[in-house]
Structure 1
Amino acid sequence: MVDIEQINPRNEAALRAWWEVGRAATADRPGKPWPLWEQSRVALPADNPERGVTLVGAIDGREMVGAGLLTRTLKENLHTAMAFAFVRPDRTREGIGRRLVEELEVVAVGDGRPTVQSEAYLPPGGSGAAEHFARAMGYDVASRESIKELTLTDFVERRDALAARAPVPEGYRIITFDTVCPEEHLASFGRLLGMLMSEVPLGDLDLEASEWSAERIRAAEQRQVDTGRHVQTAMAIAPDGSVAGVSDVRVDDSDPVHGQVGITIVDPAHRGRRLGLALKVATHDLAVATYPDLVSVDTSNAEVNTWMNAVNDALGYRTIETLLELQKKL
C-alpha cells in the first residue's frame, strides 16, 4: 500500500530520500535536469518570503517511490501554483504519479490557487510519456519552449566574431557585477524587472506582471548570497543613465562546472541596437573568467521568441529538449 505524505524539508534524511527519487526519475534526460544534493539540501529548507514550497512523498513501506513538489509565488500571481511529480523508474505505471498530482492539486486548492501549472520535457520535436500523462491529468499545453545547452569551448571559439557583430552602441556602456546591483542603478533595474512578464512570450500562461522595489531586489540578492548562488550580471546603461537591458548567468558554489541563464531583457525603447547579443557576450565572458572549470550553460526560450533564439544560436547554444509549459484550471 502506497501512502502519500507531506515531507518536512528540514528532515535531512527524508529530504535526501525525496531528492534521490527525483534524481532517478530524471536520469535519462540530457543536460543537467536535477540539482545536486548540496543545492537542494540548502535551498529547499531555506526561508523564502517570495516562494512557498510543499514536498510530498509516495511511501511504500519504508521506501520512497515517488516525489512531488508544489511551489507558490507569494508576492504576485497568488492564483497560481507550480506542480511537479516524479516516480522512481522501477515503479512507473502503478498510478503513483496520478496520486501525487492529485495530492498537490488538493494542496493548491486549499491555498486558494485555482490555476496549476507544470512542465513536461520531450526530445526535440518529439513526444513522450510525460506529455501523455499531463494530458490525461487534464493539463493543456500553454506554451512551447526550447531547452538549449552551450558548451563553453564552443563559445570561446566564437567569442571574438560575436563581439565584432555586436559592439556596444555609441553612448551606451555595459557594466558587470556579481549578484549585487550597484546602488545608483537599483531603481531603474527594478523598473526593467517589472517589464519581464509583459515582454517575455507567455503563450496562454495565466501570469501577471510584478513590481520590484529596491528593498525586494536587495532581499532577493541576499538570498542568493546566503545559498551560494552567484548571479553574474551584465547591465546596459543608456546615454541618459537608465538601465536599458540586463542579462545574467547563474552559477552555484556547489556546482561550478554548470551555469544557467536567468533573465535577458532589453527595454523596448532601446531595441534594434543588438544590445541583447552584446549583453550575452558580456555575461558569458564574465562567467568564463570567474569560473575556469565551467563546462556548460543552459537556457530556455519560447519557440516563438525568434529574436532570442537567434541570439542563442549565434552564441553556440543547441537544443537538447522541448519544454511544454502546462496549465490546468481546477
Structure 2
Amino acid sequence: MVDIEQLNPHNQAALRAWWEVGHAATAERPGKPWPLWETSRVALPAPNPERGITLLGAIDGREMVGAGLLTRTLKENLHSAMAFAWTRPDRRREGIGRRLAQELEVIASGDGRTTLQSEAYLPPGGAGTAPEAFAEAMGYVVASRESIKELTLADYADRRDALAVETDTARDYRIITFDTVCPDEHLGSFGRLLGMLMDEVPLGELDLEASEWSPERIRGAEQRQVDIGRHVHTAMAIAPDGAVAGVSDVRVDDDDPVHGQVGITIVDPAHRGHRLGLALKLATHDLAVATYPELRVLDTSNAEVNTWMNAVNEALGYRTIETLLELQKKTV
C-alpha cells in the first residue's frame, strides 16, 4: 500500500527524499525545471511572509515514490491555492499522482481555498500529452498559455550593443539598479507599481485579484530573499517627477550562479512608448553578467498573447523551449 503523508520541511531526510522525486519526475524537461538541492534545502523550510506551503509524500514501504506541493498566498487571493503532484518515473500509471492531487484538494478545501491552479508543460506548440490528459481527468481546464524561454548569455552579448541604440527614447528616464533591497526614497512608488501587476499582465481566465504592497510588506519580502540567499537584481526607471515608471529584475541564487531567472517586468501605462521595458531588461541583464562571471543561462516565461513582451525577449535572444499551460479548477 502507498500511504500519503504530510512532511515536515525541517526534516532534512524527508525533504531530500521529496526533492529527489521531483528531480527525477522533471528530468526529461528542457532547461532547469527543478531547483538545486542546496536551494530547496534552504528555501522550503524558511519562514515566508507571502506564502504558506504543505508538502506531501507518497510512501511505499520506506521509499518515497510521489511528491505533492500546495502553496497559498497569505495576503490576497485567499480563495486560491496552487497544487502540484509528481510521481517517480518508474511508478507512473499506478494512480499515485491522482491520490496526491486529491489529497492536495482536500487540504486546500480545509483552508477555505475554492480555486485550485496548477501547471502542465509541453513541447513548444505541443498538444495531446499525458500531463494534459491527467489535468483534464482531475477536472482542470486551461486558463492561460505561456511560453517558457531560455537565453544563452553568449547570444545576449552578441545582440546587446545594437539593442542599446533602440533605447534612446528612454533618455528622459533615469535607470537605477540595486540588489534586492529597494532604496528608501523609492519604496512607496515601487509599491504602487507592484500593486498594478495583476491588472497589467495577461492572466487569461486565471481567477486572481490585484494586491497592495505597503513598505512593510516589501521589506518583509526582501528579507526573505536575503535570508535564503536569493539576489533580486533590479532595475528601476525613474521618471522626471521622481516616480517609479517601470521595474524589471533578474534573480540568481547563491547556490546556483550559473542559472538565473527573470522575475517581474512592468511599465506604468502612463509611461509606455519609450522602450523602457527594453532599457530595464538591458540594465538587469548587464548587472547579472557583471556580478556573476560564471552565469550562462537565464529563463523567463510570458503569456503567448503578450506580443509586446515576447518581442522584447526574442530581440534579446530568448528562444522558446516549452509551452506552459496554466490550469485551473473551481471546487464550488
Q: Distance in 2 between matches of 1:291 and 1:170?
A: 27
Q: Distance in 2 between matches of 1:107 and 1:277?
A: 42
Amino acid at match of 1:29: R
Question: Are 2:222 and 1:207 equivalent residues in the alignment?
Answer: no
Partner of 1:111: 111
Partner of 2:247: 246
Question: Are 2:92 and 1:92 equivalent residues in the alignment?
Answer: yes
SS at match of 1:167: helix
Question: Are 2:130 and 1:129 equivalent residues in the alignment?
Answer: yes
SS at match of 1:181: coil
Q: Distance in 1 between matches of 2:160 and 2:42?
A: 35
Q: Distance in 1 between matches of 2:224 and 2:6?
A: 25
Percent identity (aligned): 83
Q: For residues 256 and 168 of structure 1, do their structure 2 counterparts lie closer, same or farther at Cα, with a shift above 3 Å needed?
A: farther
Answer whether contact 1:158 1:315 (CA < 8 A) is retained. Answer: yes
- The superposition leaves residues 2-48 of structure 1 with CA deviations (integer Å, 9 ceiling, x where unpaired) of 01010110000000000000000000000000000011110111111
103-112 or 46-55, which moves further after superposition? 46-55
Q: How far off is 1:245 after superposition?
A: 0.1
Partner of 1:146: 147
Answer whether contact 1:256 1:291 (CA < 8 A) is retained. Answer: yes
Q: How far off is 1:165 after superposition?
A: 1.3
SS at match of 2:157: helix
Answer whether contact 2:47 2:224 (CA < 8 A) is retained. Answer: no
44-53 or 266-275, which moves further after superposition? 44-53
Answer whether contact 1:149 1:297 (CA < 8 A) is retained. Answer: yes
Partner of 1:72: 72
Q: How far off is 1:171 after superposition?
A: 2.2
Q: Distance in 1 between matches of 2:318 and 2:266?
A: 18
SS at match of 2:133: helix
62-71 or 121-130, which moves further after superposition? 121-130
Amino acid at match of 1:24: A
SS at match of 1:6: strand
Answer whether contact 1:178 1:232 (CA < 8 A) is retained. Answer: yes
Partner of 2:265: 264
Question: Are 2:11 and 1:14 equivalent residues in the alignment?
Answer: no
Q: How far off is 1:55 after superposition?
A: 0.3
Q: Distance in 2 between matches of 1:132 and 1:312?
A: 31
Answer whether contact 2:49 2:221 (CA < 8 A) is retained. Answer: no
Amino acid at match of 2:303: A
Partner of 2:225: 224
SS at match of 1:308: helix
Answer whether contact 1:4 1:100 (CA < 8 A) is retained. Answer: yes
Amino acid at match of 1:245: G
Q: Distance in 1 between matches of 2:69 and 2:94?
A: 19
Answer whether contact 2:116 2:329 (CA < 8 A) is retained. Answer: yes
- The superposition leaves residues 164-196 of structure 1 with CA deviations (integer Å, 9 ceiling, x where unpaired) of 112262321100111111111000000000000
Aligned positions, number: 330
Q: Distance in 2 between matches of 1:157 and 1:257?
A: 19
Answer whether contact 1:168 1:278 (CA < 8 A) is retained. Answer: no
Answer whether contact 2:148 2:323 (CA < 8 A) is retained. Answer: yes
Q: How far off is 1:296 after superposition?
A: 0.3
CA RMSD in angstroms comes to 0.6
Q: How far off is 1:50 after superposition?
A: 1.2
Partner of 2:53: 53
Q: Distance in 1 between matches of 2:172 and 2:248?
A: 19
Q: Distance in 2 between matches of 1:39 and 1:309?
A: 29
TM-score by length of 1: 0.99
